[in-house]
Chains A and B, each alone.
Chain A
């Protein structure tokens, strides 16, 4: 796991001031926890897209903690913040299920439907997932059900070749539900372990496109009863508070079961996952840390929080 933290650090080091340094500086210069100090902590939390509500709640916790127990050195405050953040993440998210088991599903074929807004990183994440399954000796089939965006299926096809997975596709403008159906049948016929369905990016506010997504899900369920076992929502780490709305809407439409956060190798901290886990009870399963096919790592609450503070 050292490499994961390193990757995080490399990204986060580029923001000039880590949360940790800022807090240490604040305390060393002031030696008191006053309103100004608390406001700065609040700002630092807000700056990682944790959201106003959650930030205020955590700052209140900190205030109350200091009032009750006091503190001797800045490290204590940081430990307290870390534990509060981690507790919030752990409350509902991932760690219950060991992330490595994900690549060894006990259902066959295991069907994953990947959804999200435009440009979130769905296709790239699918390639990484395919690689993960193949590393565990699983036979993977990809379904190019994004028939809307220009060259989307070509993009998936190139990835399929790179990770050596089979693919089912149609021409541009075809019916995505039909692709999902054909792919399901192919998965059964070819004795495939895992079927991953790519869908077109869509904003959660477009009712007709969300209906289309529901249809894909229904069709999958008819072709292979019980599927899709996993509906994974892909979120761009740089997204702000709208990420929560996205998660809520996608969950309402197609019963999202998990989240993957992409592009965490930039300076965006992806703090919105705290609110998503907390409010929507959705596990954060993976984080995307680059464009290479191995850059998908299991999400770990503790590491995530540590990285925020480095």
Chain B
């Protein structure tokens, strides 16, 4: 889907070769491309315009064209500038000096407030604190019920008063928190449109009544150009203290991050990534910059690998590799671990450059992995350990058992043989530089 940004810039710079520095005369085409990249990532057009103007000054005067890789140079300037604008990794919640810390969650319908409330509760509980969840969404059917279930899942108490008003529930929550020694209070407010005057007024009342330490604006990471209008209005009404971006576990480029940050100047405190209640991450401006530029996200990829790979198994495997005992069983384990990391196509997208040339038109055949699994599953343990005993009749049996053909079994065995040979070679050259081969 995404054309590799490097490829695009290469195209522009080919024309500019031999010009030395970027000058006002030749910079415009580059900047048009920058603008387009940002717009395609859903950065608001005004924000994009300002950004381009700012980065243009930075890019001019740099000796980018003398460099062998002018595209990389400009991309680096862009990347750094984007990361700088999106702020710091500091995602501390403002804590109250005295009494419980009050966190108020606000945003449009469906932006992910209730799920975030659960995640925050879990986060604070894990830190040894005692959160109280407050159901202040009396608008959406079963929203209170949803928060109750979420509270149960994370083992945190929920204050729900169906007959009350949102303002009263929040006021009451402060008393409850003091009595039951809760040090964190989280208000889950109803989703509302920023143009709904009455409901926006309600938020202002909650703010005035309870004086929260932290007001978070929860925004869908897939939002388009309208992100600035919404953020601006919530800012005007509430002067919120921080931003949380949700649903970035999809493939949206997330330009809204830059838009909202630029228009409000407030810090992005968390990324709420996924439906599981521990999917709450710190915001990393540099990763977000890469994402907006469509450059992939190698850091997240590595983190996922770390999450999915069993350390113990990896160590054992390393030993086996050294002793040249890598078997089909180990091969199967490796496949399983890669599968744990998520769908192949998603993983490939995170690899810088994989969005572009090398992978263009390449379809990842998840089915192929299923066949491999089935074939190995149809072998006896003995066969997996000593593939050389696989004669014709065994191969036929395996093909039948796995619903594949003898050819496919042969193909797998050939690939496995090649892998073993490669490993032997690596062993001869030593495993230097690859201390822990995990997949």
A73 located at the interface, meaning its Cβ lies under 8 Å from any Cβ of chain B in the complex: no
Interface: B11 (CB within 8 A) = no
Q: Are A158 and B142 in contact (CB under 8 A)?
A: yes
Q: Which residues of A contact B226 (CB under 8 A)?
A: 49, 237-238, 266-269
Interface flags for B237-277 (1: CB within 8 Å of A; 0: not) read 00000000001011111011000000000000000000100
Docked pose: A204 CA to B345 CA in angstroms: 12
Residue of B nearest to A118 (CB): B247
Bound Cα distance A120, B108 (Å): 11
Binds B, one of A146-154, A215-223, A295-303: A146-154
B250 touches A265 (CB 8 A): no
Assess the B250–A48 pair: CB atoms within 8 A.
no
Nearest to A249 among chain B residues (CB) is B251
At the interface, yes or no: B193 with Cβ under 8 Å from chain A?
A: yes
- Whole-angstrom distance between the alpha carbons of A118 and B256 in the complex? 17
Most buried by B among A52, A238, A245: A238
Instruction: Check B150 for interface membership: any CB of A closer than 8 A.
Output: yes
Interface of B is mostly: loop
Is A242 in contact with chain B by the CB < 8 A criterion?
A: yes
Contacts A155-B140, A158-B142, A267-B226 known; A240 to B251 CB distance under 8 Å? no
Residue of A nearest to B2 (CB): A245
Question: 8 Å CB contacts to A: which residues of B207-241?
Answer: 220, 222-227, 229-230
| Given A118-B112, A155-B140, A267-B195, A238 and B343 contact (CB-CB distance below 8 Å) | no
In the docked arrangement, what's the CA distance between A242 and B250, Å? 9
Residues of B in contact, count (CB < 8 Å):
53
CA A220 to CA B36, docked complex, whole Å:
43
Contact status A14-B195, CB under 8 Å? yes
Q: Verify if A117 is at the interface (C-beta below 8 Å from B).
A: yes
Residue in B41, B142, B251 whose CB lies within 8 Å of A155: B142
Is the CB–CB distance between B149 and A150 below 8 Å? yes
B146-161 vs A: 1/0 string, CB under 8 Å?
A: 1111100100000000
> CB of A164 within 8 A of chain B?
no
The distance from the CB of A170 to the nearest CB of chain B, in whole angstroms, is 15
Determine the chain A residues whose CB is within 8 A of the CB of B373 once the complex forms: none
B residues near A203, Cβ cutoff 8 Å: 247, 249-250
What's the minimum C-beta distance from A215 to chain B, rounded to whole angstroms? 16
Q: CB-CB < 8 A to B111: which residues of A?
A: 119
Cβ-defined contact, A47 with B250, below 8 A: no
Q: Is there an interface contact between B39 and A52, defined as CB atoms closer than 8 Å?
A: yes
The answer to whether A151 and B149 have CB atoms under 8 Å apart is yes
Contacts of A159 in B (CB 8 A): 141
**Cβ–Cβ < 8 Å partners of B342 in chain A:** 207
Partner of B223, one of A48, A162, A240, A265: A240
* B346 partner, pick from A11, A152, A205, A237, beta carbons under 8 A: A205
- Chain A's interface: helix, strand, loop or mixed, by majority? loop
A127, B142: Cα distance in complex, Å: 14
Instruction: Check: B45 CB closer than 8 A to any chain A CB.
Output: yes
Q: A240-B256, A245-B1, A266-B194 are in contact. Are A117 and B148 (CB under 8 A)?
A: no
The reply to whether A205 and B148 contact each other, CB–CB distance below 8 Å, is no
Which of A51, A117, A208, A265 touches B247 (beta carbons < 8 Å)? A117
Beta-carbon nearest neighbor of A272 in chain B: B224
Give min CB distance, A210 to chain B, whole Å.
Answer: 9
Contacts A49-B226, A207-B366, A268-B224; A119 near B110 (Cβ below 8 A): yes
- Contact between A267 and B109 (Cβ–Cβ < 8 Å)? no
Query: Number of contact residues on A: which range applies?
Result: 35 or more
In the complex, what distance in Å separates the CA atom of A172 from the CA atom of B114? 17
CB-based contact A119/B247 at 8 Å: yes
Q: A150 contacts B39, CB within 8 Å?
A: no
Task: Annotate A119-140 by CB proximity to B: 1 below 8 A, 0 otherwise.
Answer: 1110000000000000000000
> From residue 359 to 410 of chain B, which have CB atoms closer than 8 A to chain A?
366
**CB of B63 within 8 Å of the partner chain:** no
Would you call A239 an interface residue if the criterion is a C-beta within 8 Å of the partner chain's C-beta atoms? yes
Q: Is B183 an interface residue (CB 8 A)?
A: no
Instruction: List which A218-238 residues lie within 8 A (CB) of chain B.
Output: 236-238
Q: Decide yes or no: A155 and B366 within 8 Å by CB, A117-B247, A118-B110, A205-B250 being known contacts.
A: no
Contact of A265 among B193, B252, B346 (CB under 8 A): B193
Q: Is A26 an interface residue (CB 8 A)?
A: no
B42–A206 CB distance below 8 A: no
Are the CB atoms of B146 and A263 closer together than 8 Å?
A: no
8 A Cβ contacts from B319-362 to A: 342-343, 345-346
From B194, B255, B275, residue with most partner A Cβ within 10 Å: B275
Is there contact, CB below 8 Å, between B224 and A149? no
Q: Is the CB of B229 within 8 A of A15?
A: yes
B344's nearest neighbour on chain A, judged by CB, is A207
Type the 1/0 row for B100-144, where 1 means its CB is closer than 8 Å to any CB of A: 000000001111101000000000000000000000000111110
A46 at the interface (CB under 8 A from B): yes
Cβ–Cβ contact B195 & A245, under 8 A:
no
Per the bound structure, the CA–CA distance linking A205 and B250 in Å amounts to 6
Q: Which of B11-51 contact A (CB under 8 A)?
A: 36, 39-42, 44-45, 49
At the interface, yes or no: A92 with Cβ under 8 Å from chain B? no
B residues in contact with A151, CB < 8 Å: 142-143, 145-146, 148-149
* Complex-state Cα separation, A11 to B229, whole angstroms: 12
Q: Across the interface, which residues of B come within 8 angstroms of A263, CB to CB?
A: 108-110, 193
Contact residues in A for B346 (Cβ distance below 8 Å): 205, 207
Identify the B interface with A (CB < 8 A): 1, 36, 39-42, 44-45, 49, 108-112, 114, 139-143, 145-150, 153, 193-195, 220, 222-227, 229-230, 247, 249-253, 255-256, 275, 342-343, 345-346, 366
8 contacting pairs across A/B (C-beta < 8 A): A47-B45, A119-B111, A154-B145, A203-B250, A206-B343, A207-B342, A268-B229, A269-B226
- Residues of A participating in the B interface, judged by any CB pair closer than 8 Å: 11, 14-15, 43, 46-49, 51-52, 117-121, 148-152, 154-155, 157-159, 162, 172, 203-208, 236-243, 245, 263, 265-269, 272, 291
A-B contact sample (10 more), CB < 8 A, given A119-B111, A242-B250, A243-B224: A121-B110, A149-B275, A151-B142, A151-B146, A152-B146, A155-B140, A155-B142, A238-B227, A266-B230, A267-B195
- The 6 A-B pairs at the shortest CB distance, nearest first, are namely A240-B224, A119-B110, A240-B42, A150-B149, A151-B146, A158-B141
